[in-house]
Amino acid sequence: MPSTAEAKRAGLGEALAKAGDWITTRLNNIDIFDEHFHVEAKTNPFYSLGGIFYLVWFVVMLTGCVLIIWYVPTKPAAFDSILHIQHGIPLGNLWRGMHKYGADAMIIAATMRLFRMFLCADYKPGREFNIAIALVTLLLSMYSGLTGYLLIWNQRAFWATKVFATFPTYMDQFPVMGDFYLPLVKSVHLGWNTAEFLLGAGGAITQETITRFFSIHLAFSAIPLMFVELYFYKTGYKRMPINWTKRMVIIMMLVIVAVIMPAALGHRSNPDVTPLPILSDWYFLGLYQMYKYLEPVVATEITMVIPISVVLLPFIDVWVTGAEKNIHKRPMIFMVSMMGLISWIVFSLLIIVNIANIHNDPPWWRAFLFGFIDIGIILQLLVYLKEYKTVQEKALAVKGALVMAIVAAIQTFWAVVYYFMALTEMFMGPITQAWTYMLVKGLGGLAKAGEAEAMVKTLINGAEKATYNPTYWNYHQLVTEGPGVPAAKQIADLQALVTSPGAGGWMDFIFQAIPSFTIVTKNGIPTEVPYANALDFMVSNRWCFDFITFNNRMTPNTEKSVSGAFYPLPCPDVDWWWMLLGAGTTVFAIWVMMKFKSNAEPAKTAAPAPSTAASS
């Protein structure tokens, strides 16, 4: 009989084998340009989108190589070289038009293909990685267009790039990551370094910027092309499942559009005159409208969350609907897809007509976004109740309802966070830190919390108005500097309190293990000073400050703060819609899960009673 250790090793080996098979299956099913859908492409033109993308990509690269002959990537000559190509080179306007509209066609084809994959469930079975491949294809096309957009060096491109390329700097204010949260995390200045990498010259748009964008623009085509060709060489797959007649039709469409609507040139860039509104090329318009509605930090976070969500969606759909491909039986994915499409179209139209009420609009579109998700989940649960009858379907419904309950619960959590953000005008990071402080304090992890809070309030100018003393924000650094700094006496007293024996509680060991990044020299050796306890951590990293600010702003008052606001601010009524809808959807999903769980297993047949003969 195998020992316990042998059984564990066998179980581990089996789990690793299953994980390896799972990954191998999905790697073998990868599609870059719909090369596995040749049969479907004969009857359904939407399955030719991958091949169309590949064809247009080559047109763009070919015309780009022609344009490089005359293009000069310098600030003084870039615009003039484009002007020369447009009007002084034989067929120059045609080459430039095909390059520009070909790039647009790439983005259109990649976007339509991504939507087709969601609506037709082309990521089933075992093809979930294809969504990530399709998304990378789309993003590379968009960012290749963004870098190429600046190369014209006209007024619109200059200012659109200036707005867009400075957003990475806001990564330095992300929770538990950037400079804003020192010394909790030693900042690597990821946002600033990203902007410096893209723009150069200290984040300004200069000659370095145009040089880097020119290089990146070429790299976004040349480097992927090498990997794609290696992939096709290794696998032997056919690249384009479309015949030569269709290929010529697509090319002629680009030619006709380039002739009828020559690529716009615009006006030479002028850094001293800001155009209003600042508009990017068409495929980034919706994103620019979102930036108008949100604080830059939040907008940057959402920009990073969107692609992550897209990659996760196929896995969620597989957990929810299994191998089902019929869109009528997958309403959740349908509603999420429509939400993305409608948001992009409406946001793009709003920025074109220059409509953006930053106070009234965001609550409505938040309700729309999350409302569509909730309605999709409810419709999916109704499909379960109506059509799932077999034991296997009921088991799938249990797992799917649990997944959707988690999704709805996460949405409800964000609804609550947004509610308090609306009341206090605080960001997610400070609010969650204030709540964590309350939790640790309530669990007995901060013995001298009350005394520390009173001392912190003395370091905050007008604490009742929820303003702050900038000195306090540098508290941790000021402690190590000693006498002579502003508020030195108060800071020294606070430091003595929070590091005194018994100031923390039973959670001290957790916070003592977190790096403090405070270095002192002992015997000539730099040594890190650990946090003394949980209270030391909470005060040093502003969590206590966030708690005080949150309480101040949640306490009704009739006196204006320095910012001119009365706290708490009124919560928009529409924000209640998606908060209550999310909570109701969570409860409904849990109810459906319990309903199917109770009868997912087949009824056990009662054992026959022993016969009289056998018993005798």
Question: Would residue 126 be called left, alpha or beta, if left means φ above 0 and alpha means ψ between -120 and 50 degrees?
Answer: left
* Residue 108 belongs to a domain: yes
Q: What is the pTM of this model?
A: 0.84
- What does each C-alpha distance from 381 to 26, 324, 450, 597, 602 come to in angstroms? 28, 15, 48, 14, 21
Looking at the structure, tell me whether residues 455 and 320 fall in a common domain: no
342 pLDDT above the threshold of 60? yes
* Residue 52 belongs to a domain: yes
Residues 6 or more apart whose Cβ sits within 8 Å of residue 221? 57, 60, 61, 64, 144
296 pLDDT above the threshold of 50? yes
pLDDT band at 251 (very low <50, low <70, confident <90, very high): very high
The CATH number of the domain holding residue 106 is: 1.20.810.10
What is the domain count for the chain? 2
Distance between CA atoms of 79 and 83, rounded to whole angstroms? 6
Residue tagged 């799932």 (tokens): 388
What DSSP designation does 359 have?
A: T
Beta bridge partners of 564: none
pLDDT band at 176 (very low <50, low <70, confident <90, very high): low
Higher pLDDT, 539 or 477: 539
The pair of structure tokens assigned to 521 is: 């020299």
What share of residues in the chain are helix, strand, coil (percent, to 5)? 70, 0, 30
pLDDT, position 611: 47
Q: How far is Cα of residue 481 from the mean position of the Cα atoms in its chain?
A: 39
Q: How many residues does the chain have?
A: 616
Looking at the structure, tell me whether residues 156 and 303 fall in a common domain: yes
* Residue 367 belongs to a domain: no
**Residue 214 belongs to what domain range?**
19-268+276-325
The sign of the CA dihedral 97, 98, 103, 108 is: positive
Distance between CA atoms of 445 and 507, rounded to whole angstroms? 5
Peptide bond into 125 cis (omega under 30): yes
Residue percentage of the chain with pLDDT more than 90: 41
The sign of the CA dihedral 131, 133, 135, 137 is: negative
Residue where one domain finishes, among candidates 325, 343, 361 = 325
pLDDT, position 249: 93
Residue where one domain finishes, among candidates 292, 309, 325 = 325
The sign of the CA dihedral 505, 506, 509, 510 is: negative
Looking at the structure, tell me whether residues 318 and 440 fall in a common domain: no
* Residue 566 belongs to a domain: no
The pair of structure tokens assigned to 556 is: 């009704």
Looking at the structure, tell me whether residues 318 and 432 fall in a common domain: no
Residue where one domain finishes, among candidates 527, 554, 581 = 554
Looking at the structure, tell me whether residues 315 and 461 fall in a common domain: no
The tens digit of pLDDT for each residue in 14-60 reads: 888 888 889 999 988 998 999 889 888 888 889 999 999 999 999 99
Q: Which amino acid is at 175?
A: P
580 pLDDT above the threshold of 70? yes
The tens digit of pLDDT for each residue in 435-489 reads: 999 999 999 999 999 999 988 887 775 434 444 455 555 565 555 555 555 667 7
Residues 6 or more apart whose Cβ sits within 8 Å of residue 355? none
pLDDT, position 476: 54
- Of 57-66, 259-268, 406-415, 509-518, least confident by mean pLDDT is 509-518
Q: What is the mean pLDDT of residues 384-409?
A: 94
The pair of structure tokens assigned to 71 is: 């293009």
Longest dimension (CA), the chain: 111
Residues 6 or more apart whose Cβ sits within 8 Å of residue 100? 258, 263
Long-range contacts of 565-570 (CB under 8 A, 24+ apart): 565/425, 567/423, 567/424, 567/425, 567/466, 568/423, 568/424, 569/422, 569/423, 569/424, 569/425
615 pLDDT above the threshold of 90? no
Looking at the structure, tell me whether residues 27 and 168 fall in a common domain: yes
Residue percentage of the chain with pLDDT more than 70: 87
Work out the mean pLDDT of the chain and round it to a whole number: 84
Cα Rg, the chain, nearest whole Å: 30
The pair of structure tokens assigned to 492 is: 């020294």
The three-state secondary structure class of 73 is: coil
Looking at the structure, tell me whether residues 216 and 100 fall in a common domain: yes
Looking at the structure, tell me whether residues 320 and 432 fall in a common domain: no
* Residue 80 belongs to a domain: yes
The pair of structure tokens assigned to 487 is: 């508020």
Looking at the structure, tell me whether residues 135 and 259 fall in a common domain: yes
* Residue 119 belongs to a domain: yes
Q: What is the mean pLDDT of residues 189-210?
A: 75
Backbone angles phi, psi at 304, to 5 degrees: -85, -30
* Residue 393 belongs to a domain: no
Q: What is the mean pLDDT of residues 358-382?
A: 89
* Residue 350 belongs to a domain: no
